[in-house]
A and B are shown apart, each in its own frame.
Chain A
């Protein structure tokens, strides 16, 4: 189907089902119940799931296939964000030109950086990309303030020209929209105690993410993808067959840069604000973590990794002491206070601690990431017989 083999098509259908039903799936607890804070079915978070999913899928095309570990991909996301906001400011508040432009700008930017960085491999490549990204971050935060808005960030304003739109009518800054449909618009459906929010912006992101995922599958299965895998497994031998691997790796680098730019463009289409901190090395590190957590070189891994990190980031940081007290209130007072004291450092402002522990545990016990761990489990449970041969 659609040029995919059966298994890949199933994977794609699975992701299609996940993102289409996300507003329902992610809200398993009734509104107002004690567990309602574990619900993740609100637009802002769901948008971040799919946007970072796109970012991680693209990163995986470079890192998962060629093995080149870039530590500077946040720079492309940032460049895409700035390009997107400028389109929203200058051309039109419609998000389509912004998304296209941010992908193109990030593509050009990654072509320039990739052309230079790919002269080296291994950790030298990682440090070169890191250096370029840190330079972009430092310049965006200081000298390039007229273009990037400096530390306050770049955002849409009332007085922006927006030459394709009719002159501004109302007193409000127009919100990004798709041919008049505002990205922030939501349809709320309540069934019994449950409240489901279907957000226009989320479904736009989800639609684009499905296309991006489809393209990624096609790349993985194409002769081009095979060539990239050859680069990873033995670059030297590939050179001996008379093939120059550079154009292939550069193409992979630019494609993953464009994915990052697309993610940046979608980010500003949902919330028209771009800041320099998006380019910082910690942001680049985050996408590396997502990919590794989910499973390097697997199709669906990066999407799962992105979802898991963004979910835990949101949920753990929201829990505070009062909430803990209500959870443990069924216990005797002394035990309750004791439990709250124990859990306290891991939640709220201390959620980084949980994140750090999570990375360590996953890497120690699940070397192949979530996908590797799950498929290992599956094999152990169901294919014990065939394994023994």
Chain B
């Protein structure tokens, strides 16, 4: 196998790995802080994606004018649909806003996802801290079904395209940069954006936990909730905020994922199972482990989808993640970076 082919697969694995890492990061945050197994996390990813779809729909709400000078093919006066944003902000600015709907949706998604997260934690999850994990799984699974059915009722069952801005459509030739022949390693711009975005989000979450007083208290609470409570600190309130942040991370992962794969109502469930595998492989309760495992499994998956590999071992592309999970869990009982005593009873 050539070096360029290996590099290409590594790059291909990065975008899926980024999505896995972001979802798993949120799952681990929730598990580490609240001790809750959240099966609705995939649904949060999906809601984020539909924030992008909604914003795109809102921006393209149009009014109709009749242009008498032109006619359509039936001879009637042509109807021209002009989005309101073009009228309000001028044609150029309006068109740019519509074009950049997906990145703009980040601004919409952050408050929406924080609110959804707070509402979920205060309204439902709060009552399940002391209940067995099976109950938590069941109730959040029920919630996930409800959320995805609501989205299905509003947006329909089909995939809804939400393209990247025109400026970021197209591919970048990495091969030339590294001295290979042109055309050997081509990589779409948006995937570069997605990877960088994921890195920024992961970095922001880690920095928040590491360098702020708030984060320090949360980490202390993760290590020993009771003692932190005895020190007179209201840890529950901080954990609620962490739940909101975890929801926002999943939502942002969803927003930016829309150009890579057009969203539909069951995308959350599709990612959920793998995300749990990622969390467990990384080690329950380990944030760095979740990110690391996300990228490792994403890259493994992309290697296994190569034609040469499939010819060698048929069907490997379908099972490689699960196979890797089994091997890692048997070799390292607590996952890659897991701590002792978490979730083992």
Q: Which residues of A contact B169 (CB under 8 A)?
A: none
A331 on interface, CB distance cutoff 8 Å? no
For B323, give the chain A residue with the smallest CB separation: A135
Q: Is A223 among interface residues, defined by CB-CB distance under 8 A?
A: no
Interface assignment of A116: CB less than 8 Å from any CB of chain B: yes
Q: Using Cβ atoms and an 8 Å threshold, which residues of chain B touch A360? A: 124, 139, 142-143, 146
Other than the given A353-B146, A360-B124, 4 more pairs (CB < 8 A) read A138-B315, A350-B149, A350-B152, A363-B138
Check if B29 is an interface residue, CB within 8 A of chain A: no
Question: A334-360 vs B: 1/0 string, CB under 8 Å?
Answer: 000000000001000010110111111
- CB-defined A-B contacts under 8 Å, sample of 30: A116-B326, A121-B345, A122-B344, A123-B284, A124-B280, A124-B329, A124-B334, A127-B280, A127-B329, A128-B325, A130-B322, A135-B318, A138-B319, A138-B322, A139-B319, A289-B138, A289-B141, A296-B134, A345-B153, A352-B145, A352-B149, A353-B150, A355-B142, A355-B145, A356-B145, A357-B146, A358-B142, A359-B141, A359-B142, A363-B138
Residues of chain B whose beta carbon lies under 8 Å from any beta carbon of chain A: 37, 124, 127, 131, 133-135, 137-139, 141-146, 149-150, 152-153, 273, 276-277, 280, 284, 314-315, 318-319, 322-323, 325-326, 329-330, 333-335, 343-345
Assembly CA distance A138 to B315 (angstroms): 8
List 6 A-B pairs, minimum CB-CB distance, nearest first: A356-B145, A359-B142, A143-B315, A138-B318, A131-B322, A353-B149
- In the complex, how many residues of chain A place their beta carbon closer than 8 angstroms to a beta carbon of chain B? 41
Give Cα A42–Cα B344 distance, bound, in whole angstroms. Answer: 45
Query: Could you tell me the distance between the alpha carbons of A138 and B274 in the complex, rounded to whole angstroms?
Result: 14
**A120 CB contacts on chain B under 8 angstroms:** 329-330, 333
The listed residue (B37, B137, B273, B314) touching A143 by CB distance below 8 A is B314
Q: Which residues of chain A from 155 to 195 have any CB-CB distance to chain B below 8 Å in the complex?
A: none
Question: What's the minimum C-beta distance from A211 to chain B, rounded to whole angstroms?
Answer: 28
> In the docked arrangement, what's the CA distance between A123 and B137, Å?
11
Chain A positions within 8 Å of B330 at CB level? 116, 119-120
Q: Closest CB-CB distance, B140 to chain A, in whole Å?
A: 9
Residues in B neighbouring A139, C-beta threshold 8 A: 315, 318-319
Residues of A within 8 A of B (CB): 69, 116, 119-124, 127-128, 130-132, 134-135, 138-139, 141-144, 235, 281, 285, 288-289, 292, 296, 345, 350, 352-353, 355-360, 363-364, 367
Q: Are A292 and B135 in contact (CB under 8 A)?
A: yes
Q: Given contacts A122-B343, A359-B141, A359-B145, is CB(A69)–CB(B134) below 8 Å?
A: yes
- Could you say which residues of chain B place their CB within 8 Å of the CB of A357? 142, 146
CB distance from B65 to the nearest CB of A (A): 33
Residues of the B chain whose Cβ atoms lie less than 8 Å from the Cβ of A119: 330, 333
Q: A132 vs B277: C-alpha distance in the bound complex, in angstroms?
A: 12
CA distance A130 to B322 in the complex (A): 8
Q: Is the CB of B322 within 8 A of A135?
A: yes
**Shortest CB–CB separation between residue B329 and chain A, in angstroms?**
6
Do the beta carbons of A363 and B135 come within 8 Å of each other? yes
Contact status of A128 and B343, CB under 8 A, knowing A363-B138, A364-B139: no
Q: Which residues of A contact B138 (CB under 8 A)?
A: 288-289, 292, 359, 363
How far, in whole Å, are A353 and B145 apart by their CA atoms in the complex?
A: 6
Measured in the bound complex, the distance between the Cα atoms of B134 and A350 in whole Å is 25
Q: How far is the CA of A364 from the CA of B136 in the complex (A)?
A: 10
- Cα–Cα distance between A345 and B153 once the two chains are bound (Å): 7
- A131-B326, A135-B322, A292-B135 known; A356 and B280 CB under 8 Å? no
Contact B322 A359 (CB under 8 A): no
A123 touches B343 (CB 8 A): yes
How far, in whole Å, are A139 and B343 apart by their CA atoms in the complex?
30
User: How far, in whole Å, are A288 and B153 apart by their CA atoms in the complex?
Assistant: 27
The distance in angstroms between the C-alpha atoms of A237 and B63, with both chains bound, is 73
How far, in whole Å, are A69 and B319 apart by their CA atoms in the complex?
Answer: 22
A119 to B133, CA, bound (A): 20
Identify B149's interface contact among A128, A288, A356, A364, CB under 8 A: A356
- A128 contact set on B, CB distance < 8 A: 325-326, 329
Contacts of B318 in A (CB 8 A): 135, 138-139, 141-143
Measured in the bound complex, the distance between the Cα atoms of B42 and A376 in whole Å is 35
Residues of A within 8 A of B133 (CB): 69, 123
- Of B277, B322, B343, B344, most A-chain CB atoms within 10 Å: B322
Shortest CB distance B278–A (Å)? 10
* Chain B min CB distance to A60 (Å): 12
B137 CB contacts on chain A under 8 angstroms: 288
Determine the chain B residues whose CB is within 8 A of the CB of A122 once the complex forms.
343-345
Please indicate the chain B residues that have their CB under 8 angstroms from the CB of A235 in the complex: 345
Residues of B within 8 A of A116 (CB): 326, 330
